[in-house]
Amino acid sequence: MAELTSQLTSGARADKPAPSASPETVVLQRVQGAIGKPIVIKTARGMSHFGEHSIGWFAIGVLGALRDKPRRKEWLTASAGAVAAHAASIAVKRVVRRKRPNDPNVAVHVGTPSKLSFPSSHATSTTAAAVLFSTMTGRKLVPVLVPPMLVSRLVLGVHYPTDVIAGAGLGALVGGLVRRKLRRSGS
């Protein structure tokens, strides 16, 4: 915890990757160096809090259910799908047990509920929510919602690139399965 606090307050980051850094750590360093400005970090933190435990996506689904009474059940199913995707990511994390980035040249800008990294639960629930809410709204939300969340996890220094890619894949899978159920129910 002291190390995390030190990283959060120092914002330590090298402009040049260490020669011994893994390719994924190099990507993290480059992302942070290129776009890790205070406003971007602040926005990424807000996104992190919104997506924590998929609570923001769940809330949007509940609001949809309250506003769209004829499709209340479908909105609640979509909302539950985002939560199910999050739960699936937690199950995979516990099997894989990959540790979060831990390099002195990668700044960690937000706390996390666990030390496990693969897959990114934020990427998973965001992708599932984007797939499901696209079905509910008739809008293409995946390209609008998913890339910013994936990049935010790198900016914050809490995931490797493969963590967010795998999370997006898992979210797309879960979202697609739940979407199939929604389409069968007439949405």
Give pLDDT, residue 184: 81
Does 16 score more than 70 pLDDT? Answer: no
Q: pLDDT tens across 76-113, in order?
A: 999 999 999 999 999 999 999 999 999 988 999 998 88
CA distance 119 to 36: 22
Six-digit token string for 93: 């994390």
Six-digit token string for 97: 């047990």
Name the average pLDDT for the chain: 88
* Domain boundaries, given as residue ranges, for the chain: 23-184
Q: What is the CATH number of domain 23-184?
A: 1.10.606.20
Tokens 């004829």 locate to 70
Q: pLDDT tens across 127-155, in order?
A: 999 999 999 999 999 999 999 999 999 99
Give pLDDT, residue 11: 44
DSSP readout, 93-153?
HHHH-PBPP--TTS---S--S-SB-SS-HHHHHHHHHHHHHHHHHTS--HHHHHHHHHHHH
3-class DSSP assignment, residue 57: helix
pTM: 0.86
